[in-house]
């Protein structure tokens, strides 16, 4: 191994889409960002490799983790073909009550003169569709999830079963804890039934967690907790959560590859990363 990583940045994406909106990166910018990663010699880590790194095993100096939250259809339409082209893998955190059954829809790699790509909703439109029982218009189907897993471009982990912030809607702490426990158990059961296995990696909806969330998630068998807290990840950080681990992520903007290059330069250097974040705060 030529050098070992001092820190591993975990990048956070949601939408890769031609429909502009919140938390969306255009296909052009995403393609350029992934091309930069390959040309600069970066290697994407899967969940097992990241877990091993956090436990103390070395990984190559230019290691990065790609994550996608919620499981949007555009991840299949645009992100999957780009990752496949570069031989990259990503982690998708799936809200397990949202996917539906049905055939695989076209994506950018299968497009030809007689094929039309599915209409992609922007973030607000997708939220409305999900709330109105039309999640299939915005979210991956199980058949597409299977295709992505088979291609090795994505692995799938829990983002809860409902994506509900129980701390905001429950009438008591006991109700919050009970509903969260049921939610996490349902997500694990769905992933086990649909995919044949379930990992101990969990992404908090909206990045929120408190002591109750952490305790219930540990009891439900999760050990790696993905946050929206900015920063990189080191093996010697003191952010262990009892028997679990909090994982920082960097939100990727709809910007050129040069923007991503500058962020990775900062956040692969622990001392510079910490100083940069202190200044930003």
Q: pLDDT band for position 280 (50/70/90)?
A: confident
How much is the pTM? 0.95
CB burial class (10 A; 0-12, 13-18, 19+) of residue 211?
exposed
CB atoms within 10 A of CB 194: 16
pLDDT at 113: 55
Q: pLDDT band for position 112 (50/70/90)?
A: low
pLDDT at 238: 46
Q: pLDDT band for position 111 (50/70/90)?
A: low
The encoded tokens of residue 221 equal 């068998």
pLDDT at 3: 81
**What does the alpha-carbon distance between residue 70 and residue 81 come to, in Å, rounded to a whole number?**
18
The encoded tokens of residue 53 equal 């790194």
How many residues in total does the chain contain? 281
Strand positions, DSSP E, the chain = 10-13, 15-16, 24-25, 43-44, 63-70, 90-94, 154-158, 201-203, 224-226, 240-241, 244-247, 250-251
pLDDT at 115: 76
Q: Domain spans of the chain? A: 10-280
pLDDT at 131: 96
Tell me the average pLDDT across 190-216: 96
Report domain 10-280's class. alpha beta
In the predicted model, is pLDDT for residue 281 greater than 90? Answer: no
Torsion sign, CA atoms 11, 182, 169, 101: positive
């Amino acid at each position: 191994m030529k050098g070992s990583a001092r820190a591993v940045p975990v990048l956070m994406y949601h939408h890769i889409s031609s429909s502009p909106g919140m938390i969306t990166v255009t296909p052009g910018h995403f393609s350029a960002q992934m091309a930069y990663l390959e040309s600069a010699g970066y290697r994407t880590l899967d969940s097992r490799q990241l877990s091993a790194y956090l436990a103390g095993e070395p990984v190559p100096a230019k290691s990065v983790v790609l994550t996608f939250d919620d499981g949007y259809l555009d991840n299949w339409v645009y992100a999957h073909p780009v990752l496949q082209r570069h031989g990259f893998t990503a982690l998708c955190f799936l809200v397990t009550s949202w996917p539906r059954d049905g055939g695989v829809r076209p994506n950018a790699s299968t497009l030809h003169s007689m094929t039309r790509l599915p209409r992609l909703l922007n973030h607000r439109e997708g939220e409305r569709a999900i709330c109105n029982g039309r999640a299939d218009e915005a979210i991956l189907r199980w058949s597409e999830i299977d295709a992505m897993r088979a291609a090795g471009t994505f692995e799938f982990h829990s983002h809860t079963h409902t994506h509900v912030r129980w701390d905001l809607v429950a009438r008591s702490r006991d109700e919050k804890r009970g509903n969260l426990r049921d939610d996490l158990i349902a997500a694990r059961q769905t992933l086990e039934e649909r995919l044949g296995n379930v990992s101990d990696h969990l992404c908090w909806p909206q990045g929120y967690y408190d002591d109750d969330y952490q305790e219930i998630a540990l009891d439900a068998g999760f050990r790696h907790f993905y946050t929206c807290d900015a920063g990189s990840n080191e093996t010697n950080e003191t952010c262990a959560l009892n028997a679990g681990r909090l994982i920082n992520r960097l939100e990727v903007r709809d910007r050129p590859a040069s923007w991503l290059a500058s962020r990775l330069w900062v956040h692969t250097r622990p001392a510079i990363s910490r100083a940069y974040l202190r200044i930003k705060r």
